[in-house]
Amino acid sequence: MQLRYNFRVYPAPAQQHALARAFGCARVVFNDALRARQTARENGRPQLSDGELSKQVITLAEATPERVWLG
């Protein structure tokens, strides 16, 4: 038997801001990773591993001036 629950959340304004920031960061990282994989495929390179992709999209991106806010 499978159970399913529905929950509704009413975050406070500060929590709304924190959630929006977290989801915004996740969206940017996902889009960067997707773009990196598509570029690799278009250039005929092998698919990037998850570790390499994580290093490129998160770790190295935090050091750039335009993505410093990811840190």
DSSP, res 9: -
Looking at residue 38, its pLDDT comes to 94
How many structural domains comprise the chain?
A: 1
Per the structure, the complete domain to which residue 48 belongs is given by 22-70
Query: For the chain, how long is the longest CA-to-CA vector?
Result: 51
* Domain assignment of residue 49, yes or no: yes
Assign 68 a pLDDT band (cuts: 50, 70, 90).
Answer: confident
- Give percent above pLDDT 90 in the chain: 58
Compute the residue count for the chain: 71
Assign 67 a pLDDT band (cuts: 50, 70, 90).
Answer: confident
* Domain assignment of residue 34, yes or no: yes
* Domain assignment of residue 44, yes or no: yes
pLDDT higher than threshold 90 for residue 71 = no
Terminal C-alpha separation, the chain: 42
* Domain assignment of residue 14, yes or no: no
* Domain assignment of residue 9, yes or no: no
